[in-house]
A and B are shown apart, each in its own frame.
Chain A
């Protein structure tokens, strides 16, 4: 034991004499290992770890799909009445729950915040194995059609909005006119199954009865909503196919019957498909997470190649000390113990730092990647991760120890002193050096090519012009706190609001419009050439706008004209379509001035204008139609340059008009547009950071090996110079020699990239392309890095008088 302590101290002392070496090893290893641990934890959670719900493999969502003549029209939507019927007459689930996802203003909390509310039947809590921090969750007496106003809040809301109040179970949640009694607080570690969309976590749970679908919507058998979900645990013995049949048949019968009532419903059928919770929650996250894992794994390998070289150089440097130890009686075991202890210290410190780094990365991911990657809230430094880190560290220590022991041969150690320094001594062999360079170049080549391909795609999205003005426009939506207005009242209020807004010195234009151009797929409808079942039909996004919409957003008309004020006022049957719709109706005479039938209605709508398509990041060209009419309390406010209006300012104006009016949506169009670019901006930032790190690590690694190799050749180069080799010729020789392993590495990376490309496109059916420009940039960068790594040590030698190189 005391020997071990002594060796430990000796190793610490020896390392303290080489702070540069220690710093480079620890920094390189802790950063790359930290990233590797982070990505391993993420992929483990996404791909291997079961969801944290009892019998999670039996949990399913019944997903509604709509088909028109066999072609899928929409997925994930349900009709309200049909879903309630399935819930009531459930045959396939042992337990089933209905959920309706909404956002509501909580009027009895300070600032009247808008929170994520989910209206649910009680079963969701037992399905997700919920534990409570306070009180209870909904019981069977609070199920469908019982109308008991109770609420369950999350632990975070309890802490943040109620300051962790001890008497939380006496408090109420007020939403418009209903006051809900809080009956429970979910446990801090409760993880909600995110069935609606990634990153959307419920803050307040309310009984399903109180959802905000109105009477008409509840009875309508054809309307569909993606906010409504039916979840359940499959009965024992029930097969998925069988369940799909049980669910689809009544739903489709009901739909087809209801659809007979209007012409647009002809030929449309619905089906229900079960999808596992896992499938819904994880979505396409593994594509991103596996790619990131591949990236950091390659980075770790580059770092390992670097560190191997550093350790080998250090072993070569310490050979004399080992030789003296061996001559004085140290056995093989003693020497390897001292090497192993030194390695262990370095890797242990790096691993601890790597864990700190991973912990920080988890927080960063949870903050910035929420919504893009699933199950991020389950990431933490837990026992499996600590065990995994220990395992990786042990593996790395063993691998490095094996590499070093391969270099140091105990028998030859003793002969080093006996031959009193003659002979070449301990050297990293030429083949080892070549392998180190080849592997680094190959890995860096793959990593950089993939990075640059991704970066190019993202930069194209980021730099692509939107095709509409996004600056100085605010989008607002107003909530009337449950007060209902008839059409005349609503129009009168809209006019007053517009007038009041225009009186503000900051405002130069107001448009009564539901959505800004960047919102897609919120309202999809149908446009038909004629009313026959065989007529051409297009499914465009709908937006209701006024005559200011096109001017405010600066969207050019390519044919026809804008709406006139009287067309808006009287809701005349005129529409404007975009180029994509126009192309789909491509008829010989053009579509302008022709009539189209909107959602199966019998009155024709005349096309008065065609506008240019706008570009929504990562969305293919969307068919769009604009109908000119006064809508609800949704406005786009155009501001003068360098001016802004706050939500508080707006609220004070609206309160003067009607004390129930409050701003419920407030967003600048520019920021909303940038949010759509967030994914690509993140990709760009990650790929640039990863590329720089790759270049730095590979550059340092290649420099380390090349400068070692070139320094070993100093004498030989001196001989060549003595024989008349000029600096240029010597440089050319060394550069050519060094270029060989770089070229091999590059060739290997190209082969792997092609294999990867073929695998992904042919076996996995990914739609990707090899970016030649990315390969060229990578080639230039790697060549340049290698050239610099070679040139620095070479320059020292060729500037010597030959006699100094021969010393």
Chain B
């Protein structure tokens, strides 16, 4: 049995807008194991983004329990959740979200600088270089993001998500802003990473890419169900 990386139980999320309650998640259970590659898909407004926000500690659930590598992270202060994000979670966004004023190197180094572990400059250099190599972008170290193409920017974003050796990669529509050629290349890269042991949770509405995950979940009306699992199939 693989180690459990993420365990969510009975998670709900209620938004109150103009005195009207909207239930985005309704008692959701989800377990992700070490080395998993899962995809979550569903129609617009099904709660994909909300789930990803809670998974990534960008938002807190209204109720339910959430553990990452055994630690309870259901209700944390802003500072505590930031610390865990820096150390255990790697993000890849649809809009890449690189910071324009920082070089490629500095963008990738950000999670290390935010980490409570005090990395030395040489350690940072070494880790950033390793990640840049893995996405084949070493020649762009000192460039600024706006000089890069969309595909290149997303590769840098992937490098950034890997730099702090996170427990899990949370990937939000990584190909949404890319053409199909670049999109395919990014998906290949994710698959390779998973093959090397990285745990990945991918949110996408594109069934073509959802199919490439080992387990595929479908989200509807705030509840989740597994559609297909390669592990089970094996």
Please give the residue numbers on chain A whose beta carbons come within 8 Å of chain B beta carbons, in ascending order: 716, 719-729, 798-799, 801-804, 806
Residues of B contacting A726 in the complex (Cβ-Cβ under 8 angstroms): 78-79, 82-83, 86, 114
Residues of A contacting B78 in the complex (Cβ-Cβ under 8 angstroms): 726-727, 798-799, 801
Decide: B79 and A720 in contact? CB cutoff 8 A: no
Decide: B79 and A723 in contact? CB cutoff 8 A: no
Residues of A contacting B58 in the complex (Cβ-Cβ under 8 angstroms): 721-722, 801-803, 806
Decide: B53 and A724 in contact? CB cutoff 8 A: no
The 8 Å CB contact of B86, one of A719, A723, A727, is A723
Please name 20 further chain A to chain B contacts, defined as beta carbons within 8 Å, in addition to the given A716-B99, A722-B85, A726-B83, sorted by A numbering: A719-B97, A719-B99, A720-B99, A721-B85, A723-B111, A723-B114, A724-B87, A725-B82, A725-B86, A726-B79, A726-B82, A726-B114, A728-B79, A801-B53, A801-B78, A802-B59, A803-B58, A803-B59, A804-B59, A806-B58
A372 CB, min distance to chain B CBs, angstroms = 54
Give A721 to B111 CA distance when docked, in angstroms: 10
Q: A716-B99, A728-B79, A803-B53 are contacts. A723–B91 as well, Cβ < 8 Å?
A: yes
Residues of B contacting A804 in the complex (Cβ-Cβ under 8 angstroms): 59
Interface string of B188-220 (1 = CB under 8 A from A): 000000000000000000000000000000000
The reply to whether the CB of B35 lies closer than 8 angstroms to some CB of chain A is: no
Chain A to chain B: the 3 pairs with minimum beta-carbon distance, closest first: A724-B86, A726-B82, A724-B114
Residues of A contacting B160 in the complex (Cβ-Cβ under 8 angstroms): 723
The reply to whether the CB of B56 lies closer than 8 angstroms to some CB of chain A is: yes
Interface string of B69-99 (1 = CB under 8 A from A): 0000000001100111111010101000101
The reply to whether the CB of B158 lies closer than 8 angstroms to some CB of chain A is: no
Residues of A contacting B84 in the complex (Cβ-Cβ under 8 angstroms): 724
Interface string of B97-136 (1 = CB under 8 A from A): 1011000000000110011000000000000000000000
Q: Would you list which residues of chain B between 42 and 74 have a CB under 8 Å from chain A?
A: 53, 56, 58-60
Decide: A727 and B99 in contact? CB cutoff 8 A: no
A315 CB, min distance to chain B CBs, angstroms = 23
Residues of A contacting B111 in the complex (Cβ-Cβ under 8 angstroms): 723-724
Decide: A729 and B114 in contact? CB cutoff 8 A: yes
Decide: A724 and B115 in contact? CB cutoff 8 A: yes
Give A725 to B110 CA distance when docked, in angstroms: 8
Residues of B contacting A803 in the complex (Cβ-Cβ under 8 angstroms): 53, 58-59
Give A716 to B78 CA distance when docked, in angstroms: 17
Q: A716-B99, A799-B78 are contacts. A725–B114 as well, Cβ < 8 Å?
A: yes
Please report the total number of B residues contacting A with Cβ < 8 Å.
25
Give A326 to B86 CA distance when docked, in angstroms: 47
The 8 Å CB contact of B56, one of A722, A725, A798, is A722
Residues of A contacting B99 in the complex (Cβ-Cβ under 8 angstroms): 716, 719-720
B53 CB, min distance to chain A CBs, angstroms = 4
Q: Is the interface of A mostly helix, strand, loop or mixed?
A: helix
B182 CB, min distance to chain A CBs, angstroms = 19
Residues of B contacting A724 in the complex (Cβ-Cβ under 8 angstroms): 82-87, 89, 110-111, 114-115, 164
Residues of B contacting A721 in the complex (Cβ-Cβ under 8 angstroms): 58, 82, 85
Please give the residue numbers on chain B whose beta carbons come within 8 Å of chain A beta carbons, in ascending order: 53, 56, 58-60, 78-79, 82-87, 89, 91, 93, 97, 99-100, 110-111, 114-115, 160, 164
Give A723 to B115 CA distance when docked, in angstroms: 10
Give A248 to B128 CA distance when docked, in angstroms: 91
Give A803 to B172 CA distance when docked, in angstroms: 13
A59 CB, min distance to chain B CBs, angstroms = 67
Give A720 to B83 CA distance when docked, in angstroms: 12
Give A723 to B113 CA distance when docked, in angstroms: 10
Residues of A contacting B82 in the complex (Cβ-Cβ under 8 angstroms): 721, 724-727, 729
Instruction: Supply 30 A–B pairs (Cβ within 8 Å), ascending by A.
Output: A716-B99, A716-B100, A720-B110, A720-B114, A721-B85, A722-B58, A722-B85, A722-B91, A722-B93, A723-B86, A723-B114, A724-B82, A724-B86, A724-B87, A724-B110, A724-B111, A724-B115, A725-B86, A726-B82, A726-B83, A726-B86, A726-B114, A727-B82, A728-B79, A729-B82, A729-B114, A799-B78, A801-B58, A801-B59, A801-B60
Residues of B contacting A729 in the complex (Cβ-Cβ under 8 angstroms): 82, 114
Residues of A contacting B86 in the complex (Cβ-Cβ under 8 angstroms): 723-726
Give A803 to B55 CA distance when docked, in angstroms: 12
Residues of B contacting A728 in the complex (Cβ-Cβ under 8 angstroms): 79
Residues of B contacting A722 in the complex (Cβ-Cβ under 8 angstroms): 56, 58, 85, 91, 93, 97
Q: A716-B99, A729-B114, A803-B53 are contacts. A723–B85 as well, Cβ < 8 Å?
A: yes
Closest B residue by C-beta to A724: B86
B229 CB, min distance to chain A CBs, angstroms = 29
A70 CB, min distance to chain B CBs, angstroms = 71
Most buried by B among A720, A724, A798: A724
Residues of A contacting B97 in the complex (Cβ-Cβ under 8 angstroms): 719, 722
Residues of A contacting B114 in the complex (Cβ-Cβ under 8 angstroms): 720, 723-726, 729
Closest A residue by C-beta to B163: A723
Decide: B79 and A727 in contact? CB cutoff 8 A: yes
Residues of A contacting B79 in the complex (Cβ-Cβ under 8 angstroms): 726-728
A528 CB, min distance to chain B CBs, angstroms = 80
Closest B residue by C-beta to A801: B59
Closest B residue by C-beta to A737: B101
Give A696 to B85 CA distance when docked, in angstroms: 41
Closest A residue by C-beta to B99: A716
A737 CB, min distance to chain B CBs, angstroms = 10
A172 CB, min distance to chain B CBs, angstroms = 87
Give A734 to B89 CA distance when docked, in angstroms: 24
Give A803 to B85 CA distance when docked, in angstroms: 13
Residues of B contacting A720 in the complex (Cβ-Cβ under 8 angstroms): 99, 110, 114
Give A507 to B83 CA distance when docked, in angstroms: 80
Residues of A contacting B85 in the complex (Cβ-Cβ under 8 angstroms): 721-724, 802
Residues of B contacting A806 in the complex (Cβ-Cβ under 8 angstroms): 58
A273 CB, min distance to chain B CBs, angstroms = 68
A623 CB, min distance to chain B CBs, angstroms = 69
Give A799 to B115 CA distance when docked, in angstroms: 20
A349 CB, min distance to chain B CBs, angstroms = 39
Give A716 to B87 CA distance when docked, in angstroms: 20
B127 CB, min distance to chain A CBs, angstroms = 14
B106 CB, min distance to chain A CBs, angstroms = 12
Give A798 to B78 CA distance when docked, in angstroms: 8
Give A721 to B160 CA distance when docked, in angstroms: 14
Closest A residue by C-beta to B56: A722
A135 CB, min distance to chain B CBs, angstroms = 82
Give A316 to B212 CA distance when docked, in angstroms: 45
Give A518 to B233 CA distance when docked, in angstroms: 107
Closest A residue by C-beta to B90: A723
Most buried by A among B56, B82, B87, B114: B82
Give A724 to B115 CA distance when docked, in angstroms: 7
Give A803 to B110 CA distance when docked, in angstroms: 18
Give A799 to B77 CA distance when docked, in angstroms: 10
Give A801 to B15 CA distance when docked, in angstroms: 13
Residues of A contacting B110 in the complex (Cβ-Cβ under 8 angstroms): 720, 723-725
Residues of A contacting B83 in the complex (Cβ-Cβ under 8 angstroms): 724, 726
B105 CB, min distance to chain A CBs, angstroms = 15
A433 CB, min distance to chain B CBs, angstroms = 14
Give A796 to B164 CA distance when docked, in angstroms: 29
Give A463 to B56 CA distance when docked, in angstroms: 63
Closest A residue by C-beta to B50: A803
Give A806 to B53 CA distance when docked, in angstroms: 11
Closest A residue by C-beta to B53: A803
Give A249 to B45 CA distance when docked, in angstroms: 107
Most buried by A among B53, B56, B93: B53
Give A176 to B49 CA distance when docked, in angstroms: 102
Give A550 to B56 CA distance when docked, in angstroms: 85
A346 CB, min distance to chain B CBs, angstroms = 35
Give A505 to B8 CA distance when docked, in angstroms: 94
A797 CB, min distance to chain B CBs, angstroms = 11
Give A804 to B83 CA distance when docked, in angstroms: 18
B176 CB, min distance to chain A CBs, angstroms = 14
B199 CB, min distance to chain A CBs, angstroms = 18
Give A716 to B98 CA distance when docked, in angstroms: 8
A799 CB, min distance to chain B CBs, angstroms = 7
